[in-house]
A and B are shown apart, each in its own frame.
Chain A
Amino acid sequence: MDPRIESHAELLVDHCTDIGPGDMVGVNAPAVAEPLEVALYEKIGARGGIPVGLSLPARATRAFAEAIDADDLETSAHALAFLEACDVFIGIRGGENVAEMSGMDPEDMQAFAKVNEPLQDAQMNTDWVGTQYPAPGRAQKAEMGTDDYQDFVWNAIDKDWAEQREFQAQMAELLDAGDEVRIVAGDETDLRMRTGDNPVKNDDGRTNLPGGEVFTAPIPDSVEGTVCFDKPVLSQGREVRGASLELEDGEVVAHDADQHADVLAAALDTDDGARRVGELGIGMNRDIDRFTYNMLFDEKMGDTIHLALGRAYEDTVAEGNEQNRSAIHKDMIVDMSEDSYIEVDGEPVQRNGTFVFEDGFEDEP
């Protein structure tokens, strides 16, 4: 077995979840990720954990979604009971065909998202982690050879996470001490928001592997301005390209997209919370040095920030502050590598992708 697969599995059971004897572990993995599953089951066994698979097969789910009457949709009681009994949940993505859900009616997909919301809640109540297996489908999406893509994925994953955490702590401290954040990129993006006393999380690869971001929730009503997302957002098997939003008093008041504007509109119409921002994230994993059109990686890239429409994570909202609630959590990325800066309380903390605490910051215009 490829030793990188062993390391990946070891990180999942040790660093990300710390599985112990008797822990009930749910594992969701596609067929293509079987080598990682074999390594993972072995390591879970060595720790006395109890694994059971629960999968979301893409082709089958597509066939189901086409066949079912949207009125018949209800939350799966058996899957919910399963997740509620899990101590740990490990989600592995593969991606044999990331476009499996393309062509579905966006409204039906929103109905799906709604009935699945309790499942998401239950999963998030476990010690959960989401990761990626470097499958050929994802390599294709990244426009890379499969071997090359494997190197990319495992470089981003198999690293010294304690060191990474220290690096990110510098940004977390700046954001934690600040209140107002301003993000400017080119002519199209100029967005302000307050983060108040909301906790700033240092993502060192425990819930996402790879990790590598610093994130928090904005105060829902405080988001103001315009933002253009340079990179495509994958939603319901479609790529929404060139999405732009205008926000007033925290709410999306205008929106547009170069492609699949209807998919964006359907996402925004899911519920009230879907029109507000639930997360501000700043990418800091320097091993992720290119876009691969996979949110798990792109949002951790050092030269990006991302905003999520919809649900705010509970642990990023201070007590007494409003938590934005929604059935969706849709991350969208702004490329910050050129003609861009981030300010915290009026002080620039990143210019053209280089942080204030990194070499070369002063050289950026």
Chain B
Amino acid sequence: MDERVRQHAEVLVDHCADVQRGDMVQITASKHAEDLVVALYEALGERGARPSLSWSLPAASRAYARAMDAEDYTTKAHELAAMEETDVVFLVGGGPNPFETSDVPPEKAQAGSRAHQPILEERLGTQWVITTHPTAAGAQQAEMATPAYEEFVYNAVNKDWGEQSAFQAQMVELLDPADEVRVVSGDTTDLTMRVDGMRAINDDGDHNMPAGEVFTSPVPDSVEGEVYFDKPLMRQGNEIEGVSLTFEDGEVVDHAAEKNEDVLASILDTDDGARRLGELGIGMNRAIDRFTYNMLFDEKMGDTVHLAVGAAIDECVPEDSEFNDSAVHMDMIVDMSEDSYIEVDGDVVQRNGTFKFEDGFEA
């Protein structure tokens, strides 16, 4: 087996989840990720944990959803029962075709998510980790050769996380005590938001691998301005491109997209919280040096910030602050590599992708 696959499994089991003897561990993975599943089982065996596996089956899920009546969707009692007994969950992305479910009617996808809600809530109570195994399909999405894509993924994942955590801590120190953040990019993005009272979190791999961002939740009513998201995002097997949003008093008052605008609209209409921002994230993983059209990686890229409409993040919002509640959490990316800056309380902390604590920063 490729030694990098073993290292990936070690990072997941040791660093991310800190799996203990007797832990009940669930893995969901594509059959294309079998090598990583084998390496995970081996690492879990060494720690005396108990794994179980559910292959992700996009083609079967599509066939099922198309045959199923929307009103027949009900919570999967057997999956819920298993989740209630589970300590650790690994969700491994990297399927054969990210567009497999693109022709499932949206009302069925929504019925499916609603029925899944209790399982999602239970899963969020476990030590859960999302990661990706490099496959040919992932390489194609990234417009890269497969070996080059593998190298890219493992560079982002198999790194010294202690060192990365220390690097990111510098940004946390700037953001955590801050009152106001402003994100400016080209002529299309100029957004301000308040973050006072909110906690800034150092993502060094508890739930995402690769990790590599610093994130917080904005004060819901405080978001003002407009933002253009340069990079496409995948939603329910559909690619939404060229999204622009205008915020007033924290709420989306105008929206457009160059592709699949109807999908964007239906997401914003999910509930009240879906029209407000739940997260501001700043990418800081320098091993991620290009867009690969996979949110797990793109949002960690050093030259990006991302904003999520929908649910805020629990650990960022203190009890006495307003928490933006929603059934959705949709991350969208702004490319900050050119003609862009981030201001914290009026001070520029990043210009054209370079942080103030990095070499080459121009104040």
**Contact between B82 and A79 (Cβ–Cβ < 8 Å)?**
yes
- The contact size tier of chain B is 35 or more
**Contact between B38 and A78 (Cβ–Cβ < 8 Å)?**
no
Q: Cβ of A76: which chain B residues have Cβ within 8 Å of it?
A: 24, 50-52
Can you offer 27 A-B residue contacts whose CB atoms are under 8 A?
Answer: A22-B72, A34-B31, A34-B57, A41-B67, A44-B64, A45-B66, A50-B77, A54-B53, A54-B54, A55-B53, A60-B37, A60-B38, A60-B40, A60-B53, A66-B45, A67-B44, A67-B46, A74-B50, A76-B50, A76-B52, A77-B85, A78-B82, A80-B85, A81-B84, A82-B52, A82-B79, A85-B82
**Contact between A42 and B66 (Cβ–Cβ < 8 Å)?**
yes
Known contacts A66-B45, A78-B86: A52-B78 contact under CB 8 Å: yes
Chain A nearest CB: distance from B330 CB in Å? 26
Chain B nearest CB: distance from A250 CB in Å? 36
User: Is A210 an interface residue, CB under 8 A from the partner?
Assistant: no
User: Is A26 an interface residue, CB under 8 A from the partner?
Assistant: yes
**Contact between A37 and B57 (Cβ–Cβ < 8 Å)?**
yes
**Contact between A42 and B67 (Cβ–Cβ < 8 Å)?**
yes
- What 0/1 readout, one digit per residue, does chain A (195-228) give for beta carbons within 8 Å of chain B? 0000000000000000000000000000000000
Chain A nearest CB: distance from B92 CB in Å? 12
Residue of B nearest to A69 (CB): B48
A-side interface residues, number (CB < 8 Å): 49
Q: Cβ of A48: which chain B residues have Cβ within 8 Å of it?
A: 68-69, 72
Residue of B nearest to A36 (CB): B60
User: Is A98 an interface residue, CB under 8 A from the partner?
Assistant: no
Chain A nearest CB: distance from B12 CB in Å? 14
**Contact between B67 and A56 (Cβ–Cβ < 8 Å)?**
no
Residue of B nearest to A29 (CB): B55
**Contact between B81 and A85 (Cβ–Cβ < 8 Å)?**
yes
Which residues of B are interface residues toward A (Cβ below 8 A)? 21-22, 24, 26, 31, 34, 37-46, 48, 50-55, 57, 59-61, 63-69, 72, 74, 76-86
Which residues of A are interface residues toward B (Cβ below 8 A)? 21-22, 24, 26, 29, 31, 34, 37-46, 48, 50-57, 59-61, 63-69, 72, 74, 76-86
7 closest A-B pairs by beta carbon, nearest first, are: A67-B45, A72-B48, A45-B67, A68-B45, A60-B41, A45-B68, A42-B63
Residue of A nearest to B89 (CB): A78
Residue of A nearest to B42 (CB): A63
Chain A nearest CB: distance from B60 CB in Å? 4
Taken together as a complex, chains A and B put the C-alpha atoms of A80 and B21 apart, in Å, by: 18
Known contacts A41-B64, A45-B64: A82-B81 contact under CB 8 Å: yes
From B39, B66, B78, A63 is in contact (CB under 8 Å) with B39
Residue of A nearest to B43 (CB): A67
Sample of 10 further A-B pairs with CB below 8 A, known A60-B53, A74-B50, A78-B24: A34-B57, A42-B63, A48-B69, A50-B76, A53-B57, A54-B53, A57-B37, A67-B43, A77-B50, A81-B84
**Contact between A57 and B78 (Cβ–Cβ < 8 Å)?**
no
Q: Cβ of A45: which chain B residues have Cβ within 8 Å of it?
A: 63-68
Q: Cβ of B42: which chain A residues have Cβ within 8 Å of it?
A: 60, 63-64, 66-67
Residue of B nearest to A55 (CB): B53
Residue of B nearest to A63 (CB): B42
Taken together as a complex, chains A and B put the C-alpha atoms of A78 and B51 apart, in Å, by: 9
Chain B nearest CB: distance from A237 CB in Å? 16
Taken together as a complex, chains A and B put the C-alpha atoms of A61 and B34 apart, in Å, by: 11
Taken together as a complex, chains A and B put the C-alpha atoms of A9 and B65 apart, in Å, by: 16
**Contact between B53 and A57 (Cβ–Cβ < 8 Å)?**
yes
Taken together as a complex, chains A and B put the C-alpha atoms of A45 and B45 apart, in Å, by: 36
Chain B nearest CB: distance from A236 CB in Å? 17
Known contacts A48-B69, A60-B40, A68-B45: A53-B55 contact under CB 8 Å: yes
Taken together as a complex, chains A and B put the C-alpha atoms of A83 and B79 apart, in Å, by: 9
Chain B nearest CB: distance from A232 CB in Å? 27
Known contacts A57-B37, A60-B41: A37-B60 contact under CB 8 Å: yes
Residue among A53, A56, A78 with most chain B CB within 10 A: A78
Q: Cβ of A81: which chain B residues have Cβ within 8 Å of it?
A: 81-82, 84-85
